[in-house]
Chains A and B, each alone.
Chain A
Amino acid sequence: MSKEEDKGVHGRAEEFLQVFKKGAEFTQELMRENERLRYRIIQLEESQSNLEGVPASTDENRKLFQRIEELEREKDEILGRIRQVEAENQDFAARYIEIEEENNNLANLYIASYQLHSTLDFKEVLQIITEIIINLIGAEEFAIMLLDEKSNEIQAVACEGILRDNIPHVKLGKGIIGEVAKTGENYFVENVSTYVQDLHQPMVCIPLKIKEHVIGVLVIYKLLVQKTTFAAVDYELFTLLAGHAATAIFSSRLYNDSERKLSTIQGFIDLLTK
């Protein structure tokens, strides 16, 4: 082999070594890349397995959210029910007060009627009516007037706070008192506080009726200082009292008349049998 041929072989060997080195470097680079990719695959597999857990967790959360919504609804319902119960309680409390008042009014009426029918003495009946008007209604000046069916005139038989002589005699159908006695309808002034006393025009005029038969009237001219207005119950009280008072007055008068007649007859019998 000549020197030139030797140089040529040597040069190719060098070239081959260079190629071989590059091939080795490339192989090593490929192996590193392979390693990196394998690592990346493992990472992806792990994240894949993690991602598989995520839907399960979301499902749980959804269920929890649903439960929260249900509980919120239940809470709203309970709060609504509590408000309803509170309103019912207030209603019951108001109703209780109403019933209590009704009970008191009935008790007052019961006692009033009990007292009115507890005697057959005419004067006592008038006294009881007077007491009831003062103590239950709160009147200071008033009169009990009876109708004389022969003369058709209404006259005071009992009064409080005013002289009986000052109370006018009224013809049936004349003025407020006469009209009330004729029609049997209650009369009340529109405004108690602005009422100016007039014995012909009372503040209140209530007919004393036995069914539809008027035997007299109850007239009120002034209320007690502390009684500034009429309550709803007062109107009921007036009407109911007027009915009971009328019966009590009528019964006691009948009884007194019969007692007087009996006494007269007894006197005659005694005279004849002596």
Chain B
Amino acid sequence: MVIKAARRYANAMLITAIEQKILEKIKDDMLLIKQAISDSSELSLFLKSPIIKKEVKKSALEAIFEGKIEELTSNLITILSNKGRENLLYGITLSFIELYHEHKNIIEVDVNSAFELKKDELASLKNKLEDATGKSVLLNVIINKDLIGGLTVRIADTVIDGSVKHKLNQLKIKFTTAVE
């Protein structure tokens, strides 16, 4: 759940990035920051900690991201640091990516597959999803052996379950609820 303030910052970042024609670069910055925070629980706790002074947080963030991010993104970090709102940073990156996808008409689709999917399978899955949704599709594929076979696809709140595990579960329900 992204808080409203984070969404406001993200929206401002998106608009400014479009105006300055650096949208793709800012998107990469946001992905970098998101990845850095989600990969390190220490960094995440550090940013959230009310005990650590904002100056310390500011210099830490500068040390981590200096030279790796655009000026606009640096400015965002400075503003957040000055206001003592570094804890919003992660939410801003999430919200920005969401807004970026909306802007670019992209939807993220989570795919769980029992076996690794080959390039041609991924391509035809992507094509089919793009035809059906009318959007550019970004596939997040996770291998899940528990599915036994087949795959599941999640688009927003809709899950389409084509896994063998699901079929077996359905079969079990059929067996146990069979009329006498």
Are A and B subunits of one complex?
A: no
A residues near B (Cβ < 8 Å) are: none
B residues near A (Cβ < 8 Å) are: none
